[in-house]
A and B are shown apart, each in its own frame.
Chain A
Amino acid sequence: MKRITFAASVVAIGALTLLPFLWFMLTSWKTASEISAIPPVLLPSFHWDNYRSAVEKYGVFHYIANSAIVAGSTTLISILIASLAGFALARFRLCWARFYLMLLLALSMFPQIAIAGPVWRLLNFLDWLNSYQGIVAAYISLSLPFAIWVLTTFFQELPYDIEEAALIDGCSRWQALRLIVFPLAAPGVFTAAILVFIHVWNEFFFALIILTNPALQTLPVGIALFPGEYTMPWGEIAAASTIATLPLVALTLIFQRRIVQGLSAGAVKG
């Protein structure tokens, strides 16, 4: 009896989390008449027209390229900056390290709208609206609190002995970070990078206000603003959504252990 209840809850959790998305994915291989059929058609005829049209008519690859550029450069730069800061916070005995970490935690809690107007004006002043550098700058500052927290935690867990020996041998702090701490902490740095990448790839609010030029828009904006007021092109939306999501699902499945660790050990922000 107990085993049956347990098995039932395993199945229920799996089904409730997986089925809605699976249903949407299956929609991407359906024809228009299969999509609007009542009763619903469970298995699609697996035709690829929606994908062709999502790519050719709606330019999905174009949005993907923008997302990859923006998420890739944000991840690279913010991990670099956060490693420097995390190293300093973990290794130098700073009386205000705790204050800085608390400030970062507080900043990561603020709703985006609390800074959206001034950020827009600032980027407008710099003439950085509708530019990669504008959105990347905004994203770096959004990801820094999380990245710094996670990396500080990882750096603290590293043994200090090797580093100390190197410092005694005349190594500079900078060399210690570059040659010892960074390679040792590589798994942690990588985890932080994946989490930042996923977060930025999915970000919508700032992309919406900063990138109004379709040529520069990222994937979430493209999917949210999918054209079609009265009859929605559900097949194409589902196809584009599948393309947008599969890389993330793949990343998540490959690195699930690390992601779970990073989210719970750092447990700062989602």
Chain B
Amino acid sequence: MSNSRDPVWRFLLPSLVFVGVFSLYPILESFRLSFYRMILTLPWLGQKFVAWENYRDLITDPVALGSLTTSMIFVIGTTPIEVLLGLAMALVLNESFRGRGWLRAIVLIPWAVPTVVSSQMWRFIFNDRYGFFNFLLFGNATQFYWAPLAEPGLALMSIMTADIWKTSSFAGLIILAGLQGIPGELYEAAGIDGAGPWQKFRYVTLPMIKPALLLALLFRTIDALKVFDLVFVMTQGGPADTTNVLQFYGYKKTFAEGMIGYGSAIAVTVFLVSLLLSILYIRMLGSGLLRKEKPA
């Protein structure tokens, strides 16, 4: 099929150059740097090979371990809720009713809002003196008002709330696509067999959208592990490191403290955790999904 006048590589070369230089090389370089000790902004001090020392420091660093736990709590606490809310949205949007177009447009708004904007928005809603959240809980009794973003137990939950608001609709869109792929005959056949609405949902809808549900869960999980903007704006990792997720800790070590070797060890850990989760999910999905999306 190739044509001697314009060979394939000419079409692929530009993308290969960018991907190679700005994605592939940096990942390999992160692996390499994680075995060195060097200061980001003072490269002339040289890099010293320290073998596994960064990783040894990492597993004995209580902040790093806390950070891993925080990230895990964040992933486990947000993604199932996002998928469930997304499922609810998708089920409603899959019906035909007046104003459906409007609802679909409204649901897209949180997705379109820049994360930084939604972070400031939720920071305002959770404000300790005049935030709407406090008013909802305590009304005019300002003496009881909380400072959710300054309370160790509540700060992470506040950030999780903001994440759920922002991203449930993305999960919803993927699930909606799954719902729309179910042939109507299946419901007719189930109806003839005497299935009620719940049975139709349980035995037709749910099995048919399982791949979409898992896909939504996969994308949300991978994204939740990357959470950064919300933490940066709302809490800066505090109070007392309780919202110090992996990506933020890696950023702090690498760019605020300049410890690029140690920061790279954190980066490699985040990378491995997300790789592990991706493989796990893809195995759960079976290869069916990937086969479907594979080009001819």
Contact = CB atoms under 8 A, between A and B. Distances in A.
Interface string A85-123: 101111111100110111110110111111111111110
A267 B267 CA distance: 26
Contacts of A112: 226, 228, 247
Nearest to A124: B43
Contact of B19 (A13, A104, A109, A248): A104
Interface in B32-55: 33, 40, 43
A110 B169 contact: no
A128 to B, nearest CB: 11
Interface string A193-231: 000001001101100110000000001110110100000
A244 interface: yes
Interface string A76-91: 0000111011011111
A241 interface: yes
Contacts, number: 306
B150 interface: no
A265 B112 contact: no
Given A92-B1, A141-B21, A223-B120, A6 B112 contact: no
Interface size range of chain A in the complex: 35 or more
A156 B294 CA distance: 11
B283 to A, nearest CB: 15
B135 A88 contact: no
B95 interface: yes
B8 A204 contact: no
Contacts of B153: none
B260 to A, nearest CB: 5
B199 interface: no
B139 interface: yes
Interface stretch (B185-193, B202-210, B270-278): B270-278
Contacts of A16: 165
Nearest to A234: B124
A115 B295 contact: no
Contact of A224 (B19, B116, B225): B116
B250 A10 contact: no
Contact of A118 (B33, B232, B290, B294): B33
Contact of B267 (A14, A40, A84, A114): A114
B130 interface: yes
B154 interface: no
Interface of A: 6, 9-10, 13-14, 16-18, 20-21, 23-24, 27, 35-40, 80-82, 84-85, 87-94, 97-98, 100-104, 106-107, 109-122, 137-138, 140-142, 144-145, 148, 152-153, 156, 167, 172-174, 177, 198, 201-202, 204-205, 208-209, 219-221, 223-224, 226, 232, 234, 237-238, 241, 244-245, 248-249, 251-253, 256, 259-260, 263-265, 267, 269-270
Which 5 A-B pairs rank lowest in CB-CB distance, beginning with the nearest? A264-B177, A141-B22, A115-B26, A118-B26, A88-B11
Interface of B: 1-3, 5-6, 8, 10-12, 14-15, 18-19, 21-27, 29-30, 33, 40, 43, 88-89, 92, 95, 97, 99, 101-122, 124-125, 127, 129-130, 132, 135, 139-140, 142, 165, 167, 169-170, 173-174, 176-177, 215, 219, 222-223, 225-226, 228-229, 232-233, 246-247, 250-251, 254-255, 260, 263-264, 266-268, 270-271, 274-275, 278, 290, 293-296
